Amino acid sequence: MSERMILLVEDNASNRKLFTDILEYQGYTVVQACDVGEALRCLAVVRPDLVLTDIQVPGGGGELLLARVRDDPSLAATPVIAVTAYAMPGDRERLLAIGFDGYIGKPIQVLQFIQDIQALLSAREGAATAAGNRAAAEDPA
Ligand code: MN
């Protein structure tokens, strides 16, 4: 199995280190960005399996990053998870409604954090495998 890559977009240095340590310990390759501009520059050269973005990041916030990912046909299918502190009632529903694939509140619960990411990646890979199998079955050659 190839190593899976996660683009982590987080302006808070201690959160960035914490999330990176957890993810790297789980075997993921982590690419870090501190703001939306840096994230977009990363996405111009790497294709992560997942984007994990803080909502309150400089350069327009996680919502703008999500919009840019969805607007780019080569990136649009990439799962994007929102990570946010100061959650207000309804935030989770609002973020999922605008197209985030998942929502994680800060401070994170480490095991839940790992499980949420694994579940999302497994669901994506399962769907891709099923589509590949269908394509193979339909191919007379
Ligand atoms: Mn932030």
The Cα 109–Cα 38 span in angstroms is 27
Going by C-alpha positions, the residue among 53, 4, 60, 50 that lies closest to residue 33 is: 53
Report how far residue 78's alpha carbon sits from residue 140's, in angstroms, rounded to the nearest whole number.
Answer: 30
Report the mean per-residue pLDDT for the chain: 91
Return the pLDDT at 141: 59
Contact 86, 54 (CB under 8 A): no
> What mean pLDDT comes out for the span 32-42?
98
Q: How confident is the model at residue 3 (pLDDT cuts 50, 70, 90)?
A: confident
Q: Please check the confidence at residue 21 and state whether its pLDDT lies above 70.
A: yes
Rounded to the nearest whole angstrom, what is the distance from the C-alpha of residue 13 to the centroid of ligand 1?
A: 9
* Residue 103 main-chain phi, psi, to 5 deg: -145, 130
Distance 67 CA to ligand 1 centre (A): 18
pLDDT digits (tens, 9 = 90+) for 61-73: 999 999 999 999 9
**Tokens 């990053």 correspond to what residue?**
65
Q: Is the pLDDT of residue 1 over 60?
A: no
Strand 5-9 and strand 50-54: the pairing is: parallel
The rounded Å distance from CA 128 to ligand 1 centre is 32
The number of beta carbons lying within 10 Å of the beta carbon of residue 130 is: 10
Ligand 1 centroid to Cα of residue 5, in Å, is 21
Q: Which CATH code is given to the segment(s) 5-138?
A: 3.40.50.2300
Q: Separation of 20 CA from ligand 1 center, angstroms?
A: 15
Sorted by where each begins, the domain ranges of the chain are 5-138
Per-residue pLDDT tens over the stretch 71-103? 999 999 999 999 988 667 888 899 999 999 998
| Global pTM value | 0.88
Q: Which DSSP helix (H) or strand (E) runs through 102?
A: strand 102-105
69 CA from centroid of ligand 1 (Å): 19
